[in-house]
Amino acid sequence: MLSYKNSDPVPPIMQGSPPPSEMRVPLIDWDRAPWNRWSFQHVSELVPTARIRRGNAVTPLPAASGSLDALAYRGPDGQMTSFGRMLDDTYTDAMLVWKDGRVLHESYHNGMGPQSVHLLQSVSKSVTSATAGCLIGQGLLDPKAPITQYLPELKDTAWSGATLQHVLDMTSGTRYSEDYEVPDSDVGKTDYASGWKPAPEGIDASDWPNCMWEQIIGLKTADAEHGQRFHYRSIETDVLAHAMERVTGQRLPQLISHYLWQPMGCEEDATITIDRAGYGLACGGISASLRDMARFGLMLLNNGKLGDRQVVPEAWCQDIRHGNHGLYDAESYRDWPNGAYRNQFWVEDSRLGRHFCFGVFGQMVMVAPDTGLVAVKLSTWPDFVDNALSSAAIAALNAVEAEFAR
C-alpha cells in the first residue's frame, strides 16, 4: 500500500474493533509509509513511552488571525503554487506560522488536532540541546570538558578524547552509520536497542545491544580525528543525554519537564519513547503538540525567554545562532555557505542567526530572528529524506517572509 496525501481517500488504518489484519500497523515498519500517517500521532500505542509533564500555568498563544492557504508564490520548480497546495503536497499533519506577534496560520490535517501529540523525530535533538543549555548555564556541564569527565566508561570507546562540544556539534570521530534503509546498519541497531523495533527478519541479532547505553559503549572505532569534520550521527545526542542524566541523577523526561515544558507553560504533556533500561530516546523519541512546539520556537526567537521567564540562557541561544566552531559537510555548505551544525541545530546563516530543527519524514521548526518568523511543520512524508519536499516547505515560508516583510 502506497502513502496518501490529505486530499486522497484515507485507508482505514487501525480502524475497526478489531482492525482487519491488513490494516494493523506492523511493528517492524510502524515508522514507514503509509503506516506513519497514523502512527506518528499514536506512538504510545505502539512502543513504551514516558511522560514529559507540563506544569499548571499555560503561556497563552493567540488564535490564528487568518489562513495562508491562498498565498500564491513561485515554487522551487519555477511554477506558481500556493501555501495550501504545499501543505497537501508535503503530507502535512499540522502547521503553524508566527510573525511579529501574530499567528498567521494554524491548521490541522490527517486527523490531527490541537491536543494531539506528534512524533518529532530528530527535532527531539534540539529539545534535548535546549535542556542541556540550562544545565550548562548552571555549571553542571561544560562544553569544553572531555566527555569522559561525565561518562568515564567512554574512555574505552571511540569517544575517548572528545569534548562535550564535539558531541553537541556531531564532530567527534566515532564511526556510526546512519543508513536508514540498511536493517543492520548502526542506526538500524539503534531502532532495536531503543525499543522501537524487533530484530529484522532473517538477521541474527543475538549480539545486538539491548539498550542505548550498550550500543554507546560498544562503539570503539573512530574514522576521523575529533573536531575535524561534521558527520550526522543520531547517537551523539544520546551520549549527550546520558551525560545530562549522570550529572543530575534524573531521567531525561524529568529534565525536559523541569527545564522546558513547565517553564514554557506548555498546554499538553509530551511523551518520549523509552528503551529496556528506561532511557528516553533523546535523538528522536519525543512527541509533542503543534502549539507547544510553537512555544519552543518562540522561546528560541526571544533568546530563551517566553513570557516573563528566561527559560534557556540567552548565551546558549546566541551560541546556537553564532557559535564559530560548528562545521558542515560539503553538501550543506553548498546550500547554506554561511551555515553550520551547532549544538544540535541546523544553522542556515550564522550572520543572521537563522536556524532550524529538522526531523526525518518532514518535521521542522524554523526560527528566523532577522524577520521575526517562527514556523512549525509536522508531517508524514513517504520517505525518510526528500529534498524536494523540504525545499517546497522552506520556499513557502520564504514567500510568507516576503509577503509580510517589515
Residues with catalytic function: 122
What beta strand segments (E) does 114-222 contain?
Answer: 118-119
- Pair 385, 232: CB distance under 8 Å: no
The strand pairing partners of 119, in sequence order, are 287
- Pair 342, 328: CB distance under 8 Å: no
- Pair 203, 191: CB distance under 8 Å: no
Q: Which helix (H) or strand (E) holds 241?
A: helix 235-248
The strand pairing partners of 377, in sequence order, are 95, 364
Q: Which helix (H) or strand (E) holds 37?
A: helix 36-39
The type of residue at 207 is D
What beta strand segments (E) does 171-291 contain?
Answer: 270-273, 286-288
The strand pairing partners of 80, in sequence order, are 74
Q: Which residues of 187-226 are buried (b: 16+ CB within 10 A; e: fewer)?
A: bbbbbbbbbbbebeeeeebeebbebbbebbbebeebeeeb
Q: What cell was used for 69?
A: 492557504
- Pair 43, 281: CB distance under 8 Å: no
Residue 146 DSSP class: B
Q: Which helix (H) or strand (E) holds 73?
A: strand 72-74
Residue 20 DSSP class: P
The residue to which cell 527535532 is assigned: 123
What beta strand segments (E) does 111-269 contain?
Answer: 118-119
In this structure, the chain runs to a length of: 406
- Rounded CA separation 108/118 (Å): 11
The strand pairing partners of 288, in sequence order, are 118
**Residue 365: which of 118, 193, 4 has the closest Cα?**
118
Q: Which helix (H) or strand (E) holds 141?
A: none
